[in-house]
Amino acid sequence: MQKQSQSKRGGQEENPESKRLTAPQIFNAVEQSAREELKRPSQPLAFSAVAGGITMGLTGLAVASVRAQIGNGGWQNFVSYLIYPVGFIAVIIGRAQLFTENTLYPVVLVLDEHRHLLQTLRLWAIVFSCNVLGAALFALLAVKTSALSPEIMSQLVGLGTEAVSSHTSHIFWSAVIGGWIIALVVWVVTASHWTIGQLVMVWLLTFVVGVGKFAHCIATSGEIISAVFSGALSATTYFHWLLAATLGNILGGVIIVSVLNYGQVKEV
């Protein structure tokens, strides 16, 4: 009887010989992680989010560095985006705070228990603002010091100007897809038992974000703010882009991932 009771979790029977988690088990693990995030004090959250924002600058820096060596073009652009996921890998595997990665899943707690709403809004506000601050610190280092070669800086600024060149509607809907993919990363990473499996899934999914040029409010901020600091763009242009990208990321992460995954395991 004890063995049978241990073989069930989340309302579904689990094959004891299988290491593959069921959907309710994955959801329960994500929900527990969300509860722990909501309990974290503001100061550790802020420091982790600033670190996450700085580290996400590696996405644009990696692409710019490769393009500075091989140039721009069809196959060159494809090759450069092969290394785009490095920032996401460093942040997600390193457990830093990233808006749209581990801040959207507390939504499922709000659906069940409305008392978590204010805690979730606090988490969102701290992580988002400190992620943007971290992206600005990265851009400050990249543009206002002699850390980068002129070739790499030129490519980095070019990535930023390219990111804001689309219409607002395109930025928004592209951010919906970007938010969906990045929030999905949490689900598949939680389902993986091994770090190498987590690394591969993070790389595969975030590579799609990069090569598809889907807007991400934090990952792309480092590139755009670099263009602002270099004088190629105005701050107004950045904040206009940031609003559209953030709203799209939230919609994609909350509706397509959080709510749908909640719906498939919620007992009626």
- The Cα 204–Cα 3 span in angstroms is 37
* Mean pLDDT within 176-198: 83
Flag whether the pTM goes above 0.75. Answer: yes
Where in the chain are the domains?
Answer: 22-263
Residue bearing tokens 């920032």: 87
Is the pLDDT confidence value at 13 over 50? no
Query: Are the beta carbons of 235 and 225 closer than 8 angstroms?
Result: no
85/92: higher pLDDT: 85
Q: What is the pLDDT of residues 225-266, one digit of tens each?
A: 999 999 999 999 999 999 999 999 999 887 776 677 666 666
Which pLDDT band holds residue 126 (cuts at 50, 70, 90)?
Answer: very high
Tell me the average pLDDT of the chain. Answer: 86
- What pLDDT is stored for residue 257 in this prediction? 67
User: Which pLDDT does position 223 carry in this prediction?
Assistant: 97
Under 8 Å between Cβ of 66 and 150: no
Alpha-carbon gap, residue 121 to 77, rounded angstroms = 38
pLDDT in tens, 147-162: 999 999 999 999 999 9
Percentage of the chain beyond pLDDT 90 is 56
pLDDT at 117 over 50: yes
pLDDT band at 212 (very low <50, low <70, confident <90, very high): very high
Q: What is the mean pLDDT of residues 168-175?
A: 97
Fold of 22-263: Glycerol uptake facilitator protein (1.20.1080)
pLDDT value at residue 262: 65
Residue 34: which pLDDT band, with cuts at 50, 70 and 90? Answer: confident
pLDDT value for 9? 42
**Lowest mean pLDDT: which of 47-61, 87-101, 163-177, 209-223?**
87-101
SS3 track for 79-119? HHHCCCCHHHHHHHHCCCCCCCCCCCCHHHHHHHCHHHHHH
Q: What is the pLDDT of residue 102?
A: 66
Which two three-digit tokens encode residue 22? Answer: 């069921």
